[in-house]
Amino acid sequence: MDTLQLYCHVPFCRNKCAYCAFYSLPGADRAQRRRYLDHLAEELAGAAPEPAASLYFGGGTPSLLEPDELAELFDLFSRYTSLLPGAEISMELNPETLTAEKIALIRRHVTRVSLGVQSFDPALRRTLGRDCSQAALDRALSLIRDAAFPHFNCDLIYAIPGQTAAGFAADLERAVAAGADHLSCYALTPEEGTRLAAAGTVPDEDFATDCWLMAGRILAGHGIRRYEISNYARPDCECQHNLAVWRGSRLAGFGPAAASYDGNLRYTRPESLSRWLAGDAPEQDWLEPAARRREIAAVNLRTTAGWLRQDFLQLPGAVEAEWDDLLRRTADLPPEWFDRHDGGLRLTDSGLLFWDTVAAAVL
């Protein structure tokens, strides 16, 4: 079913982490946050979206907002949008911004939290430029555990300079012990414009591969299985918002830098708070419909489920010839990268490691 997903970008952070390439504003004051909420209300009031299957608050750091600001954020979406029964509502949190009052408020509105830990090792967090003390991290984990959220994701980064295999294994075990039913584990990738890139940081690719394989092995031992290149979950604990977006679901994004997709056209709001507040037009990304479907096909091949023929043909406008073309475009790649049983196309573990090559062939 082609359902709508909602996304809200909250662009404020305490500080800019050394690895982060997402749009965020460190050190924003209350006046800036007031202008943000006022303009977000205007944006939502003019949108009138249909009932949505999920709502995702990302950032930035949504949990940086003060309790009264968080309450207003939730009220805005309750007032101007509607959700389907059983909708997933996610919010990204950073440990150093959490208090008991905030967690109690978030628990009343959110079904899934995602905690930006990155590493349980304080030295590695300093390498990443994460402004988070061990006391703040321990307190956040305790607050989340006591609140008993239906779903809890923990973000980890691997291939950090100075990290060891034993250290990453310990991070994985600590996240599981903390009660996470979902983990997102990303290889450190110093993107252009980040402090790590400016410092010339180059992660060890062989170590990154070892960590990726280790994550799959260790987490599977706890019943938490890889379902996307960087994401792992217990059964029925996958992020429904992301699964839908990877499969080409329509998306309505709000806030600066938020992306939207109407089934044909993708557009992104200005990556600037001032330009967004001024009402500057979104940047449009148009692809010919068949090319857009190939893009969706490539993105969803990051998941272990991949595609079944009948699911691909449910994409709006998809025809049998496009499925045949997808099979043809991947036919010359190493056969061990693919599982082509049951009328489907999925990547094996070895294929997931070479997803970039597969995507280039599909596109």
- Output the CA–CA distances (angstroms, integers) from residue 300 to 243, 291, 329, 359, in the order listed: 8, 14, 16, 10
Digit-coded pLDDT (tens) for 146-164: 999 999 999 999 999 999 9
Domain CATH number, residue 71: 3.20.20.70
Q: Give tens-digit pLDDT for 209-255.
A: 999 999 999 999 999 999 999 999 999 999 999 999 999 999 999 99
The answer to whether residue 237 is domain-embedded is yes
Q: Answer whether the bond into residue 216 is a cis peptide, omega within 30°.
A: no
In angstroms, what is the C-alpha Rg of the chain? 20
244, 276, 305 - which closes a domain: 244
Instruction: Tell me which of 244, 270, 304 is where a domain ends.
Output: 244
Alpha-carbon torsion (47, 48, 49, 53), positive or negative: positive
Q: Looking at the structure, do residues 20 and 152 belong to the same domain, yes or no?
A: yes
For residues 119 and 217, membership in a common domain is answered with yes
Residue 283 lies in a domain: no
Expressed as residue numbers, the domain containing 38 is 4-244
- Is the same domain home to 240 and 292? no
Q: What are phi and psi of 258, to 5 degrees?
A: -75, 135
Instruction: Calculate the alpha carbon distances from 299 to 49, 233, 318, 358 in Å.
Output: 25, 19, 16, 10
In a domain, 278, yes or no: no
Report yes or no: 158 and 188 within 8 Å, Cβ to Cβ: yes
In a domain, 68, yes or no: yes
- Split into its structural domains, the chain has a count of 2
Residues of the chain with pLDDT under 50: none
Q: Supply the pLDDT for residue 1.
A: 56
Strand, coil or helix: what is 39?
helix
Say whether both 127 and 215 belong to one domain.
yes
